[in-house]
Amino acid sequence: MAEATNAAIRWPEEYLPGTSDNFTSNETIIKDLSVSQIWAKLADCTQWETYYGHNVEQVTPPPSGNFLKQGDTFRFSTFGFPVLDCKVEESIEPSPVGRLAWSAGLDGDAETAVKVYHAWLIEELPGGRVRILTQESQVGVVIQQ
C-alpha cells in the first residue's frame, strides 16, 4: 500500500478551519497533466476565465504582470460577489508542491464586513498524478447567517 504524505494549506491563525465562520474545500487528483501545466493556468489570473467560465469576471491583473507573485494586488469577481481587492499572500511554483493564496475582504460595518482567505495547493504525486486542492475560509457575521 502506498504511504500518504500529502501537503496541507498553510493557514493564518484568523482563518484556521474550524475557527472561522465558513470553510469550504475541493480536491481532485488527475493524471496526464504536469504540475507545470496546471501552474501556468492557475498563477496567470488572466487565464481563469478560460476554465472557470461565467464564475469569474472582471479580472484585473497586478501591475507586475499576469502571473501572481507574493505581495501583488489584483482584482476580480466570482460567483456574483462584488469585485474583490485581493492581496497575494503566497505564491510558490511547484517543486514538487506549488502554493497560491490570497486574502480579500468586503468592507462594511460589524454586521456586513467579510474577510476571505483562498488557497490552492498543487502537488506532484507518484505515477504521473497531480493533486489539486483549493480551500477557502471566511470570517464575518453575515457569513454566519
The string of DSSP letters for 52-72 reads HGGGEEEEE--TT-SB--TT-
Cβ(33)–Cβ(130) under 8 Å?
yes
One pLDDT digit (tens) per residue for the chain, 145 residues:
555 567 899 999 999 999 999 999 999 999 999 999 999 999 988 887 777 766 777 778 899 999 999 999 988 877 777 888 989 999 999 998 999 999 999 888 888 899 999 999 999 999 999 999 999 999 999 888 7
Core vs surface per residue 93-103: b (16+ CB within 10 A) or e: ebeebbbbbbb
Domains in the chain (CATH in brackets) are: 21-144 (3.30.530.20)
Cβ(86)–Cβ(62) under 8 Å?
no
Other CB atoms within a 10 A radius of the CB of residue 29 amount to: 13
Omega into 63 within 30° of 0, i.e. cis?
no
Predicted structure pTM score: 0.90
